[in-house]
Amino acid sequence: MLLNRLMFWMMVTEGVICLVLSLPFGQWLSHAVISFLMKHLSGKDSPANMVATVVLAVVSLLFISDVTTVYKHHSSDEVLSDGMRIRLLTAQRDMYITGFCLFLFLLLRLVYIALATNLRLEKSLGAMKKQAEGAAAGYKSLLAENESFKQQTDKLHQLLEAEDGDDKKKKLDVLARLVQENADLEAKVKASAEQLKKAEGQVAVVTKQAEGQSSAFMKLMDEKNESDKQLETAKTQEEELKRQRELIAKLTEERDSLKTQIQDYDFMFAEAKKKAE
């Protein structure tokens, strides 16, 4: 009975979820829920996936058991009594409930997989759009630089067209040398930028190492201070123990002297008693 009630309420819950998902509004809520599940409960070895697999297996076994029971009752040629008819109706009811549970569970699982894939593709598409926008911006900047360079070279060629002979050749050679020097300088700038990035990375690594060493040093200092405190405490306890030992020795001497005096008094009293007798 308890299992049948669980199957019934599971079917009702699955039906409500399917109804909510089929509504034309409130899609942001389903997307938020799917994103939360993907973030915290996704993965093949996650507990949620294992629980879903176990539930699917249990519902499938119950459905197969109910189908087998109904088939046995229908395949028998005997006249069914009232009790057997009640059992048949109960088995049919359980078969319908478990069948709907299994169908809705598989449907919800397919919907979850589809929505999760859709959200993942949307994120990938957003990242690709950002990359494409960055590449387009870089391409536009390169085109602008190329256009400006072409305009400058055209102006230089227009200025050099009026020249003749050796002067024109010399100026062209100077222009070619300047262009080559510009290219070399750009290559050096790129190399310097790469070296700067590497140096920044090395500085970051060294900084992390220094922070780790600093924390380790502070920890060692704390341990040293703690050990110093323990040493001072031990010294204090040792001095107190030494003082107590001296006090005990002094008390022992006083006790021995008192014992001697008592023995003397006993001896004197014994002699006085003998004389009195």
If pLDDT is split at 50, 70 and 90, which confidence band does 29 have?
low
Name the CA dihedral angle for 10, 11, 13, 14, rounded to a multiple of 10 degrees.
Answer: 110
The reported pTM is 0.42
Question: Helices (DSSP H) in 23-81: which residue ranges?
Answer: 27-41, 47-75
pLDDT of residue 130 exceeding 70, the answer is yes
Q: Which two tokens stand for residue 157?
A: 């060629």
Domain boundaries, the chain: 1-133+181-273
What are φ and ψ of residue 226, in 5° steps?
-65, -40
- How does pLDDT run across 189-245, given as a tens digit for each residue? 788 888 888 888 888 887 787 777 777 767 777 777 787 888 888 888 888 888 888
The DSSP 8-state label assigned to residue 14 in this structure reads H
17, burial (CB in 10 Å: exposed 0-12, middle 13-18, buried 19+): middle
The DSSP 8-state label assigned to residue 77 in this structure reads -
More confident residue, 25 or 255: 255
